[in-house]
A and B are shown apart, each in its own frame.
Chain A
C-alpha cells in the first residue's frame, strides 16, 4: 500500500551567518511524513529540531537562511514560494505551536482576539462569526467557560491553559499539518500528559498530520508513527516507531534508548551517553557522533556517512551499514538484554 506523503524534506540545510562565520544549525535533514500520521523528531537540545521546524514555515531569524534542500508540502517546494504565498500557508495549511506557552501569546490582546486574527486573515470571517468560532475552538481544546475566557488576557491564564489557547489558535483554520515544538517541555508533568492526549485526540478527530518535536523518547513511543532521530544538525536515523524501539540501528539511537527511563529497568542501571554534544561552531569532520561512539573507526573520524535509505523505507547515517565499513564485521550495536 502506497501512502500519500504530505511532507517530504530532503537534505535540508539551514545556516546562520554571524559576521563571516557560517553556523550550520541544520545540515542534512531528510524525512517523510505520510498523510494523517505523526512524525516524531527527537534529539538532544541544540541538535537543530526547532530550526528544522521553523525552516518549514520560513520563520527563522533574519540572520538565518535555508541554504540547501527541498521541503515538499503536497508536492510544492516551500523554500521556493514567495513571501505572500508562504504567508497564505502559515496558520492556514500548516500551523505551529511552540515550546514557550508563557511568552508565545501577546500580553496586550485578549486571547479571543488573538485567535480571531487567524480566522480573519485566512477566512475573512467577520467579528460575529469569528466570535462563535473562537468559542467553538476553545471548547474543542477543553477550556471551560469559553465565553468568559475569550475576553481574558494571557496573564490571567496558567501555562497549561495558554498552551491550549495556542493549540486552539493553531487549529483555527483546520490545518493539514500541525508542528508541535516541544509543546509540553515547559509544563508540569500532570499537564504534559493532558496536552499530549489533547493533541492525539484532535489529530484523530480532525485527520491532521502532526510533527511532534521532543527530546523525550517516551513521548515518541506514546504519540508517534514515525520518528527521525537528530544529532548535530543531521538526521541520523529515520524509522517507523515500532521498528525503532525493537530494532534501533544507529549507535546514537541505541544510546538514547539505553538512557531512557523505563518501568522494567532500575534507574541506576541507566547508561547516559558519555561525552558532550558537539558545538555548532566546531563540528567533527567525519561522523558527528564519532567522538562519543563506542564503535568509531578511522573511516568514521575522517569521512561523514550519508543518510542511506533501505528498501523498507528506513534510513540510517552510519558506516556500520555500508560496504565500506572498516571495523568488526560482526559488530552488533544493540545491547541484547536491553531490547524488548
Chain B
C-alpha cells in the first residue's frame, strides 16, 4: 500500500511538469506584451523596457522557463505582477472558496445521486424508478450555468428566498451547490442504478439470499459494496469536471473564487498568479485521482496494486 502511494506520488512529477510546460507556453503564446499591459496604453517605451527587465521578460524564453520551473518546484511563485502581493496571499483565500464550492457540490452529488440510484435499482420499473431516471435525464441535459440562472431567477429574484450572489452563509451556498452538483448527481444516480442492477443478478447475491439474509442486508452489504466500484470511478472523473464547472458557477453567482481570479488575471497578464492557480488546480485534480485509486483498493481487493 505504502509502496503504491509512493509510486503514484512519483508519477505526479511528469504530470505536473507537463502541466507547467503547457501553462507556460499558452501564456507566452497569447498575444499582448505583459509589460505593456501592466504599464498602461500611454506608457513610454522606456518604462515598458524597465518593467520587462524587472519581471525578467527581457531574458531568452528558455531561461524564463527555467526560472518558472524552479519557482514551481519550490512552490514559490513570488509576487503578483499586478498587485505586488505574494502569490500565495492572493491565491489561498480564493482557493478555499472554490474548494468549498467543489466539495459541497460533490457531497451533494454523491448523497443524492447514490440514494436515488439505489432506490431506482431496488424498485426497478416502479414509479419511483421512472421519476428518478426522468429527473436525472433532465439534470444531465441541462447546462449548469443555465440551471444556475433559472434557480437564481425563481428562488432569489421571484421568491426572494436566497441571496442571488456571494458566498459564505448557508443561504448563499445552497443555490450554487445545487447548480454545480446536479449534473454530477444525475451521472452518479444513473451509474449507481445500472451498477446495482448488474450486481443484483450476480450468483453471489443468490448465495446471500440462500443463506437466509434479509433483503436490506443483501442490498447494502452484499450488493452495494460491489456496485460502488464503478461508481467511485465516475465520482473521481466528476470531480475533475467539477473544478471546471466551478469557474462557470462562480461567474453566475458572482462568487469570488479561483475561477474569477484566474480569468481576471489572464486578462491582466498576471503570469505568476495564473500559473500558480492552474498548477494548484492540476495538483488537486491529480490528488483526487490518487484518492479514487486508493478507495478502490479498499473496495476491491482483487485489484492488484503492485
A33 to B156, CA, bound (A): 73
A122 to B211, CA, bound (A): 9
A96 to B222, CA, bound (A): 18
Kindly name the residue among B204, B206, B210 whose own CB sees the greatest number of chain A CB atoms within 10 A: B210
Q: Which residues of A contact B172 (CB under 8 A)?
A: none
On whether the beta carbons of B212 and A106 are closer than 8 Å, the reply is: no
B213 an interface residue at 8 Å Cβ cutoff?
yes
Which of A85-93, A128-136, A251-259, A296-304 lies on the face that meets chain B?
A: A85-93
B211's contact among A103, A121, A155, by CB below 8 Å, is which?
Answer: A121
On whether the beta carbons of B210 and A87 are closer than 8 Å, the reply is: no
Q: Which residues of A contact B207 (CB under 8 A)?
A: 98, 104-106, 166, 169
Question: Which residue on B lies nearest to A122, using beta carbons?
Answer: B212
B203 an interface residue at 8 Å Cβ cutoff?
yes
Q: Which residues of A contact B203 (CB under 8 A)?
A: 98, 100, 103-104
B299 an interface residue at 8 Å Cβ cutoff?
yes
Question: Which residue on B lies nearest to A152, using beta carbons?
Answer: B301
A96 to B225, CA, bound (A): 24
Interface residues of B in 280-306 (CB under 8 A from A): 299-302
Min CB distance A48 to B, Å, is 17
Question: Which residue on A lies nearest to B299, using beta carbons?
Answer: A108
B196-214 to A contact mask, C-beta < 8 Å, 1/0: 0000001110111111111
Q: Which residues of B contact A105 (CB under 8 A)?
A: 204, 207
On whether the beta carbons of A59 and B209 are closer than 8 Å, the reply is: yes
Min CB distance B13 to A, Å, is 33
On whether the beta carbons of B300 and A118 are closer than 8 Å, the reply is: no
Question: Which residue on A lies nearest to B211, using beta carbons?
Answer: A91
Q: Which residues of B contact A98 (CB under 8 A)?
A: 203, 206-207
A87 to B202, CA, bound (A): 19
On whether the beta carbons of A117 and B211 are closer than 8 Å, the reply is: yes
Q: Which residues of A contact B211 (CB under 8 A)?
A: 90-91, 117-118, 121, 169
Kindly name the residue among B203, B226, B300 whose own CB sees the greatest number of chain A CB atoms within 10 A: B203
On whether the beta carbons of A103 and B301 are closer than 8 Å, the reply is: no
A117 to B209, CA, bound (A): 11
On whether the beta carbons of A106 and B213 are closer than 8 Å, the reply is: no
On whether the beta carbons of A90 and B202 are closer than 8 Å, the reply is: no
A118 to B207, CA, bound (A): 11
Q: Which residues of A contact B213 (CB under 8 A)?
A: 87, 91, 117, 121
A57 an interface residue at 8 Å Cβ cutoff?
yes
Q: Which residues of A contact B202 (CB under 8 A)?
A: 103
On whether the beta carbons of B206 and A91 are closer than 8 Å, the reply is: no
Min CB distance A103 to B, Å, is 4
On whether the beta carbons of A108 and B226 are closer than 8 Å, the reply is: yes
Question: Which residue on A lies nearest to B207, using beta carbons?
Answer: A104
Min CB distance B6 to A, Å, is 24
Mostly, the B contact residues are: helix
B302's contact among A100, A104, A121, A155, by CB below 8 Å, is which?
Answer: A155
B175-206 to A contact mask, C-beta < 8 Å, 1/0: 00000000000000000000000000011101
A107 to B199, CA, bound (A): 11
A108's contact among B206, B210, B217, B301, by CB below 8 Å, is which?
Answer: B301
Size range of the chain A interface in the assembly: 20 to 34
Min CB distance A266 to B, Å, is 39
A92 to B302, CA, bound (A): 30
On whether the beta carbons of A87 and B214 are closer than 8 Å, the reply is: yes
Min CB distance B194 to A, Å, is 17
Question: Which residue on A lies nearest to B202, using beta carbons?
Answer: A103
Q: Which residues of A contact B302 (CB under 8 A)?
A: 107, 153, 155
A95 to B204, CA, bound (A): 14
On whether the beta carbons of A59 and B212 are closer than 8 Å, the reply is: no
A145 to B104, CA, bound (A): 48
Interface residues of B in 102-151 (CB under 8 A from A): none
Q: Which residues of B contact A104 (CB under 8 A)?
A: 203-204, 206-207
Q: Which residues of A contact B300 (CB under 8 A)?
A: 107-108
Min CB distance B1 to A, Å, is 16
On whether the beta carbons of B212 and A88 are closer than 8 Å, the reply is: yes
Q: Which residues of B contact A118 (CB under 8 A)?
A: 211-212
On whether the beta carbons of A90 and B301 are closer than 8 Å, the reply is: no
Interface residues of A in 236-267 (CB under 8 A from B): none
Question: Which residue on A lies nearest to B229, using beta carbons?
Answer: A108
Min CB distance A86 to B, Å, is 9
A122 to B213, CA, bound (A): 9
A264 to B91, CA, bound (A): 88
On whether the beta carbons of B212 and A96 are closer than 8 Å, the reply is: no
Min CB distance B147 to A, Å, is 36
Question: Which residue on A lies nearest to B304, using beta carbons?
Answer: A155
A98-B203, A98-B207, A104-B207 known; A91 and B299 CB under 8 Å?
A: no
A105 to B211, CA, bound (A): 12
A336 to B89, CA, bound (A): 100
Interface residues of B in 247-306 (CB under 8 A from A): 299-302
A selection of 16 A-B contacts at a CB cut-off of 8 Å is: A59-B209, A90-B209, A90-B211, A90-B212, A91-B210, A91-B212, A98-B203, A103-B203, A104-B203, A107-B300, A109-B222, A117-B208, A118-B212, A121-B211, A153-B302, A169-B211
Beyond the given pairs A87-B214, A106-B204, 6 more chain A to chain B contacts, judged by CB atoms under 8 angstroms and listed by A's residue number, are A59-B209, A91-B210, A95-B210, A98-B203, A108-B225, A121-B213
The 9 A-B residue pairs with the shortest CB-CB distance in the complex, in nearest-first order: A90-B212, A91-B211, A91-B212, A103-B203, A106-B204, A104-B203, A118-B211, A104-B207, A96-B210
